[in-house]
Structure 1
Amino acid sequence: MPAPRPQQQLLAAAWSLGLLCLAAAEGGGGSCELSVERGGALYNFSLAAPTPAHRHGVLSEDGFYKVAMNDSVIWFQLCDQMIFNFDPPVCLHCEDCGGPLRCGTQCSALASNNIGGYDVCTTIGRASGSHISLIDDGNPQKGVIFKMFSSKCSISVFIFCDSAVAQLPDKFTQSGSCDYGYDT
């Protein structure tokens, strides 16, 4: 079976995210969970919780998501470090994300940009450097923003919660020199 295309992998992430965003239970915590109280109601977001259709929650079963645009490629894994059983990143300056032999395996997000004919990597996220917040404080059911960051870069993934519709990410943006975002 051929490897899924980047858009298919991102579609799978958006679909699973739409299924597991809200639960009306107690608790919360961890790098993939957020609990907030609004208007007397408790909203729990558990992004890595399994569902019948997605046993790993939002985590890619392949160990990473890969999205390409122009001369840039971004690999990421929400809430965890990346694992590469196939198609590992190959780029210069991967020292702080696993080194040349294990590039990408010690971070949660990595960008590669083609500069002067060479692919150059930048670490843009670590599982230990992440933050989950509400997209809209006044409407907690709308979803969450999952932001991963390192000292140099960041990536924000907007996760819209709708159990009836899978919203597809349709925009990859770069703001500043090394801040990336996915919007639907």
Structure 2
Amino acid sequence: MNLRLALPMLLVLLAACSPRAAEQQVDPAAAAAVAPAPEPAAVTQPAAAPEDTVTAAADDTPDPFEELQRARAEAGCEIPEDVYDLDDIRLYCTLPADVRTFLARENTCQHFAGEEPYDDARRAELEQASAEYCDGREQRFADLFEQHRDDCSIRGALIDIGNRYDLFTLVAPDPCRAQD
């Protein structure tokens, strides 16, 4: 059956079954002659915007994962997955190998430090990871700071890292910056 005719016929049937239908006579020929309802105009949907546009338009904050991926792509060198802090990713390729190694290790330490020990087995894993990646971190940082004492750009990067991860417990004053 043609859908264009179905709606008017259904309406005629409903009208015929109504309580008032007994009071009124409906001419079957008139019911069949009811003009079909005009087809509704097609509704066009706007083209879907890409997800990042929708996200940015919704709250004007960039997606953190996309921002990390973009920073990795723009870094200029391969960055290990252990390095996940955006500031560290942006800084990583400008650093010498020993500082890069420390930075990857520090990111891993920070990762495990933020984990919750939900059972005894997980607690043991976290304690082992903490011993492996976090123990001695202040001394390693102080040693790097001393090793690069003559390179103010590296020391500046180390200062940023130290501030981010509270690593200045064993560090001597910085000759590259004015002291308070």
TM norm. shorter chain > 0.5: no
Q: Which has the higher contact order (CA 8 A, sep 6+)?
A: 1
What TM-score, normalized by structure 1, do the two folds share? 0.24
More strand per residue? 1
What TM-score, normalized by structure 2, do the two folds share? 0.24
* Larger-Rg structure: 2
